[in-house]
Chains A and B, each alone.
Chain A
């Protein structure tokens, strides 16, 4: 049963919310985790890809192994298509990641938070915050249509890209158009894929203006087929439907649409300040997403752990002021912010590449080069690239 008083109320049961709530519950705090939707994890706003490293990190964070049922398909590499159709095959030769089943995975994460002692409740819509003397002191919401108020020492906003809660508290979390992509995706069935163990990425101005189309396999004949594009005159849906209709990719034209997803994908614009008196913002709501691939599950999980550590300190010293909670800003920027800012700069350069630049890249970059790059051995690969095409110097500068 829901109570009237908590140490901490967490709003939004995605990976960030479950990480925050689970970590706080493990520390012995009285935590509630509220989810607006009637089913946690659905509908997804995500391509569902996760690297092996991120999966391991999430398992360590929750102290539990990800069950098989959360994983739709293991992935051992990728096939990248340049605008002229030239392909670069990256094969790690072992599992490098997986495409998850988010509606199962997110539920599992919330169940782990519950197992650690958090009280989780779906279909609970938070309409407003209780603010007293400039401090967030709780929430006003509705559970199954019944209004309630609940008090807390700290509220954590993990409410996704809309970030409504932070804005009620007076933080400016609005995404600037230059730092958000528009995403649209079909989960498709009866699709013939080249290799169900490889994700596929398609680049080109006509395919996805300042973005790309992805095919993320979820089984023998199932995949998330989606597109992310920077702001243009055309919609994300326009690009995906065009790809499906015109691109000579196996039988995508004849595949069935099992689910339709869309969403805004933060790709930069990291916030200096993500706290106010009695409030911390985590995950998509704080723009904590990788600007190149748009993945947010790992970032939200890490931020949730940092938030829990800082909140623990604040509550123990009976001071949850913005000054005390701002240690979260400091720790997050040191652990993730600086690194993600470099990725944002790289993304800004890739958006300026022309189709012929991409064709050049595909011409000179082998799958082995990509693996070397991914493993951090950058210098040799880059020197080789630059000898072939000095135009790519700008790109190289941001990779080093």
Chain B
């Protein structure tokens, strides 16, 4: 499991994130988790669909499009 701020398509700005778990609630692959260290993304499960990006109330998540 990779912790926040990796160099792949899915990225989260940890300073913006309010740790509300809204992204976790909509992740269709249950790849996201809200831990005491912030939101983590299991890259083996993530399909980079961008639903979490749409959901985030503060725009902390970006899924880069190729």
Contacts and interface: CB of A to CB of B under 8 A. Distances in A.
Interface of A: 36, 43, 45, 125, 160-164, 167, 174-177, 180, 182-184, 231, 235-238, 260-264, 266
B26 A237 contact: no
Nearest to A236: B57
B23 to A, nearest CB: 8
B20 interface: yes
A230 to B, nearest CB: 11
B66 interface: no
B36 A161 contact: no
Contacts of A182: 22, 55-57
Nearest to A240: B57
Contacts of A43: 18
Given A177-B54, A184-B58, 18 more contacts: A125-B35, A162-B25, A174-B25, A177-B26, A177-B51, A182-B57, A231-B55, A236-B57, A236-B58, A237-B59, A260-B18, A262-B18, A262-B20, A263-B20, A263-B22, A263-B57, A264-B21, A266-B25
Given A177-B51, A177-B55, A182-B55, A261 B20 contact: yes
9 contacts: A36-B36, A180-B25, A180-B26, A183-B57, A236-B57, A237-B57, A262-B18, A262-B20, A263-B20
B27 interface: yes
B5 interface: no
A273 B40 CA distance: 28
A267 to B, nearest CB: 12
A165 B54 CA distance: 24
B48 interface: no
Contacts of B34: 162, 164
A237 B57 CA distance: 6
B54 to A, nearest CB: 5
Interface in B6-28: 18, 20-28
Given A125-B36, A167-B30, A160 B55 contact: no
A264 B34 CA distance: 13
Contact of A161 (B18, B22, B28): B22
Nearest to A287: B25
A163 B56 contact: no
Contacts of B33: 162, 164
Contacts of A183: 22, 57
A264 B25 CA distance: 7
Given A261-B20, A262-B22, A263-B22, A174 B59 contact: no
Contacts of A266: 25
B18 A174 contact: no
B25 A175 contact: yes
A121 B20 CA distance: 21
B20 A175 contact: no
B59 A160 contact: no
Contact of A235 (B28, B36, B57): B57
B26 A174 contact: yes
A223 to B, nearest CB: 19
A262 B58 contact: yes
B37 to A, nearest CB: 11
A5 B18 CA distance: 35
B6 to A, nearest CB: 21
B57 A262 contact: yes
B21 A160 contact: yes
From B22, B54, B55, B59, name the one whose CB has the most chain A CB atoms within 10 angstroms. Answer: B22
